[in-house]
Structure 1
């Protein structure tokens, strides 16, 4: 018989929600992976619950994490046991694109004035395109079909894992139809007048995950 594990949304439930969001997964996707209903996942994330051991194992597998990592259980330490080496795993392009779509802040890198410039940007997606806003007199706003890189990542220091996505492509001014489609979807945190919409056309999308267990 499964052991009943008590949980509250401010501990295990919140960690499950945090892990799911970090992976860019919907509740429906986690429910499908774990063999649960969407309503059950919603209940676990938002309200007091009682979780069976079997459910905990399936949720950990669905979220690509160990049970101990998900529950933050204390692990016995042995000085004679060597730590596990981190493992890098490539991600599929569709997984990378899903992570890009699930977030709104990334970094762009481009050549300017004889040096490489890397700055954070607020962005949104339009199909496979990445759209951001900048000032009309910025260096990147002068580009048209110039090379650019876009990167975003996530690091969970507690679980010792994370991921990174890199997009190589070109940047160009957005056309009127693209501007209308995203006008209310991207708002730069930096403020000021940033009414120039730029589009990154991805040519190559890659990603990697690092795991320490």
Structure 2
């Protein structure tokens, strides 16, 4: 059986990626579980593809989900006699760190002049540090060892599950050697000049996952 490359399959690739991330698995770990190459798994998650029936079964098994629930575009039907109660689970710090390292867009929250400010940022990691770029005249660029929060999440509306990671720490201007290390890996999506590199030093990393199956 071959699943053709269609809009539905593009949705399937997204669902596979979200399911993998919700389980805290890397592409390499899914590749090992399915006996596929990491390149093949990444292709399935990010680009149009034709998927064989055997690959679909192996992916579903690796992601601990049925083929029906993995491929359906609508939320799984629930029996009116056996309602599913969502389960909220804490995540280990190692899981949270793995998810942060594999992402590239999160949110920062800090106390601005007019109150709490929450902004999306592109970022990269350097050891435990989380680095992002901002305009030199922005409020956060003036911070030095001030409290800041960083948040990252993924939600699968069809499966009614997801996860979130929260980092509490301080933010400071990045040092020259840190800037040199990430210069080629940190490109803001937004336009304008963002030549101030900022580093978040985590003090606490927590996460939780919600499941409804």
Shared fold (TM-score, shorter chain, > 0.5): yes
Indicate yes or no: 2:50 matched with 1:48.
yes
* Residue 106 (structure 2) aligns with: 106
* Residue 7 (structure 1) aligns with: 3
Superposed CA RMSD: 2.8
Matches within 5 A, 1:1-213: 6-10=2-6, 14=10, 17-22=13-18, 23-24=20-21, 25-34=25-34, 36-38=35-37, 42=41, 45=44, 47-52=49-54, 56=56, 58-72=58-72, 78=79, 80-113=80-113, 115-213=115-213
CA distance in 2, matches of 1:184, 1:173: 18
Count of residues paired in the alignment: 205
CA distance in 1, matches of 2:30, 2:122: 27
CA distance in 2, matches of 1:190, 1:70: 34
Deviations along 1:3-32, one digit per CA (max 9) or x if unpaired, are xx5423447864564244333444431132
- Give the Å deviation of 1:153: 0.8
Deviations along 1:53-79, one digit per CA (max 9) or x if unpaired, are xx655522422434332021886665x
Alignment CA distance shift 1:169-1:76 (3 Å)? closer
- Give the Å deviation of 1:167: 0.5
Which has the larger displacement, 40-49 or 101-110?
40-49
Higher Cα Rg, which structure: 1
Which stretches in structure 1 are left out of the alignment for 5+ residues?
A: none
- Give the Å deviation of 1:138: 1.3
TM-score (norm. length: structure 1): 0.82
CA distance in 1, matches of 2:182, 2:42: 33
CA distance in 2, matches of 1:92, 1:43: 25
Alignment CA distance shift 1:195-1:84 (3 Å)? same
Which has the larger displacement, 95-104 or 25-34?
25-34
Which stretches in structure 2 are left out of the alignment for 5+ residues?
A: none
Secondary structure of 1:183's aligned partner = helix
CA distance in 1, matches of 2:169, 2:111: 13
Asked if structure 2 preserves the Cα contact closer than 8 Å seen for 1:161 and 1:212, the reply is yes
